[in-house]
Amino acid sequence: MAATRASVLVDEHDEARAGPPARSWRRARAVRSQPVTPRLELSAVAKTFGPTTRGGPTVEALAPTTLTVADGEVVTLLGPSGCGKTTLLRMIAGLEQPTSGTIAIEGAPPASARREKRIGFVPQSPALLPWRSVRANAQLLLDLNGRRRPPTSAPSVDRLLEEVGLSDFADAAPHELSGGMQQRVGLVRAFALGAPLLLMDEPFAALDEMTRADMRHLLIHLCEPLKTSVVFVTHSIAEAAFLSDRVAVMSPRPGSVVDVVDVPFPHPRQAVLEDTEEFFHLTTRLRETLHAGSRR
Amino acid sequence: MRFLRSVAAPVVGVAVFAIVWELLVQLLDVRRFVLLAPSAIAQEFLDQPSFYLTNTAVTGRHMAIGLSLSLAVALVAGALMAAWRFVEDAAQPVLILILVTPWVAYMTSVVIWLGFGEQPIIFMVAFTSFPVFVFGVVGGLKSADPATRELFASVDARRWEVLWRLRLPSALPSIFTTLRFALGLGLAAAYFSEGSALQIDGLGAIGRRAALDQTSGAEVLWTTIACSAALGIAGLMAISAAERWLLRWHASQR
């Protein structure tokens, strides 16, 4: 399944590159049902920081990177800290400008995707507003910029809270929740928006190992029924292997994608997958790729 | 045990303070204008309670109106300063100038400018507390969590949404802290301005007249001082009550 997806991707990629970005965006809006434009397309996106005003050095944070994410596909950016994975995610979210290259979300640049609320962002910290209840926090992205409604329909906030086991805490204050529960509210907040693209920046990094495992099982459970595309940044090999359809392995100095690994496991994915030999083989391969990348 | 600490302890503290004060005045035979015994202050207050209560209310009103005006303008100015770095850099030296210049010195000029009456009093209360409020508001607005700011940016939240739904609630704790400082400043400005603006009512006005009265002035002067202190305490209690309500989500209130 992953293999066919990958081959389709190549075709889409070439076709979308044929026209200028602005035109393909309008075309995509006119005939959105046809899989002409990929959900997310990065073409030679690069980022250089500096030189600073005090004469600091120029740092190449990300070498030119090309990557495509199809509808409903989960792609993980896996790598050690300093490999530019968070920078890449922030550029996709439109929070940072690439130095060169183009980013297209359903054919549109990140700035307009943001305006139309097509991006569901999950930051590293839960970033809950302490004066809002759990339910009101989960509702936040829908409330903000309220005249814009995201294009797809999403399950209601209460449905999603039930889904993640927080029904009883809907009226609680965020500080009454544990770290894992707070991050679950962060996930619900992003899913409730109904955005076609979710961007997650190491959302489980601050959690303990056991809670982390629960969270990735919960995330796949939320993702699978909705055809949401996800770009997931992590430095956890197990997380990448379990969640992804493809893993983009990154390496530092300069940050770049060294390999894109297909994950062959079928959907729906169950927690027991992590105990299988195939899973072990994949994680081993990812680890080797990571090490090879950092030894360059 | 908890009741003992939270209620009994402050009462004991104030009682001991009053007894020591009373004894010192009696034993050392301190002159009345220098320090009046608490029993004499209580006697003076009970002789004409409505006179003192009315005048305390007048001073309280001057203080409340002045502080409210100042806070309202500071919120607008602070929002502009937090949004535009240039405005902040331009406003900073002016605010510091207002903060460090002794307001007692130019009080007379303000009275000549605005005329006798309530205007110079309210102006002085507002003007002296303004820089403090602005610094509190700007610091508070800027303290909003960066990750949450990016979350707001990810759906292109409007500027006013960021201000109203994120920055302003984040600023509340620091605004309340500033309010406590501003209350002391405002009360002093109100008391002194009432005396200088040749007002008839207000603790400052009767206190100023009493200071010139050699025969029975000491009693009146010291009772206005006690009433001002009581007014300040009442103000602080009101601020604490508002804080408990508005900041019930904040770590400081748990």
Q: Which two tokens stand for residue B159?
A: 């500027």
Range with the poorest average pLDDT among A23-32, A266-275, B190-199: A23-32
pLDDT at A16 over 50: no
| ipTM (interface pTM) | 0.81
Contact across the interface for B154 and A129, Cβ inside 8 Å: no
Other CB atoms within 10 A of residue A262 CB: 14
Q: Which residues contact B41 (CB under 8 A, 6 or more apart)?
A: B219, B222, B223, B226
- For residue B248, the distance in angstroms to the closest alpha carbon of chain A comes to 8
Which chain B residues are within 8 Å of A144, Cβ to Cβ?
152, 155, 157-158, 161, 165
Contact across the interface for B154 and A148, Cβ inside 8 Å: no
CA distance B16 to B21: 8
Which chain A residues are within 8 Å of B166, Cβ to Cβ?
129
DSSP state of A274: G
CA distance A74 to A92: 15
Q: Which two tokens stand for residue A128?
A: 């809950």
Return the ∠ at Cα B52 (arms to B48 and B58), rounded to 5°: 150
CA distance B137 to A272: 53
Which chain A residues are within 8 Å of B160, Cβ to Cβ?
none
The DSSP line for A217-270 is HHHHHHHTTTT-EEEEEES-HHHHHHH-SEEEEEETTTTEEEEEEE--PPSSP-
CA distance B92 to B139: 12
Q: How far is CA A16 from CA A2, A27, A112, A260, in A?
A: 21, 10, 18, 20
Contact across the interface for B151 and A127, Cβ inside 8 Å: yes
β partners of residue A62: A47
Tell me if A230 sits within 8 A of A196, measured CB to CB. Answer: no
Q: Is residue A267 very low, low, confident or very high in pLDDT (cuts 50, 70, 90)?
A: confident
Walk along chain B (254 residues) and give the pLDDT tens digit of each residue: 677 777 888 889 999 999 999 999 999 988 888 889 999 999 999 999 999 999 999 999 999 999 999 999 999 999 999 888 899 999 999 999 999 999 989 988 998 899 888 999 999 999 999 999 999 999 999 999 999 999 999 999 988 899 999 999 999 999 999 999 999 999 999 999 998 887 789 999 999 999 888 888 899 999 999 999 999 999 999 999 999 989 888 877 77
pLDDT one-digit tens code per residue, A108-145:
999 999 988 889 999 999 999 999 999 999 999 988 98
Tell me if A133 sits within 8 A of A170, measured CB to CB. Answer: yes
CA distance A153 to A8: 26
Tell me if A255 sits within 8 A of A63, measured CB to CB. Answer: yes
Contact across the interface for A130 and B249, Cβ inside 8 Å: yes
Which chain A residues are within 8 Å of B254, Cβ to Cβ?
175
Contact across the interface for B151 and A175, Cβ inside 8 Å: no
CA distance B53 to B50: 5
Cα–chain center distance at A256: 17
- Whose tokens are 């770590």? That residue is B251
Sort strands A59-69 and A197-201 into parallel, antiparallel or unpaired.
unpaired
- Which pLDDT score, from 0 to 100, does residue A18 have? 40
In chain B, what is the greatest distance between 2 CA atoms, to the nearest angstrom? 73
Which chain B residues are within 8 Å of A93, Cβ to Cβ?
150, 154
- Which pLDDT score, from 0 to 100, does residue A72 have? 86
**B105 and A CB contact within 8 Å:** no
**B156 and A CB contact within 8 Å:** yes
Mutate to test the interface with B, among A132, A144, A198 (most CBs of B within 10 A): A144
- Which pLDDT score, from 0 to 100, does residue A149 have? 72
**A119 and B CB contact within 8 Å:** yes
**A91 and B CB contact within 8 Å:** no
Contact across the interface for A145 and B151, Cβ inside 8 Å: no
CA distance A94 to B153: 9
Among A93, A127, A173, the residue with its CB nearest the CB of B148 is A127
Q: Which residues contact A129 (CB under 8 A, 6 or more apart)?
A: A136, A137, A140, A174, B148, B165, B166, B169
Can you list the domains of chain B with their CATH numbers? 62-248 (1.10.3720.10)
Q: Which two tokens stand for residue A149?
A: 């409604």
**B150 and A CB contact within 8 Å:** yes
- Which pLDDT score, from 0 to 100, does residue B171 have? 94
**B253 and A CB contact within 8 Å:** no
Q: Which two tokens stand for residue A25?
A: 């965006």
Q: Which residues contact B225 (CB under 8 A, 6 or more apart)?
A: B207
Chain A residues 126-185 with CB within 8 Å of chain B:
127, 129-131, 140-141, 143-145, 148, 173, 175
Residue spans of alpha helices (H) in chain B: 2-3, 9-28, 38-47, 49-83, 85-100, 103-114, 118-142, 146-154, 159-161, 168-196, 203-211, 217-246
**B143 and A CB contact within 8 Å:** no
Measured over the CA atoms of residue B152, residue B155, residue B158 and residue B161, the dihedral's sign is negative
**A6 and B CB contact within 8 Å:** no
Q: Which two tokens stand for residue A34?
A: 């046809």
For the purposes of burial, counting CB atoms within 10 Å of the CB of A219, is it exposed (0-12), middle (13-18) or buried (19 or more)? buried
DSSP state of A57: P
CA distance A253 to A1: 34
CA distance A220 to A74: 9
Which chain A residues are within 8 Å of B169, Cβ to Cβ?
129, 131
Contact across the interface for B148 and A193, Cβ inside 8 Å: no
CA distance B27 to A48: 79
Tell me if A73 sits within 8 A of A246, measured CB to CB. Answer: yes
Nearest chain B residue to A117 by CA distance is B155
β partners of residue A259: A249
Q: How far is CA B212 from CA A170, A223, B107, B215, B220, in A?
A: 65, 81, 20, 9, 11
Rounded to two decimals, the pTM is: 0.80
**B147 and A CB contact within 8 Å:** yes
Among B154, B158, B161, the residue with its CB nearest the CB of A93 is B154
Q: Please tell me which residue, B114 or A31, carries the higher pLDDT value.
A: B114
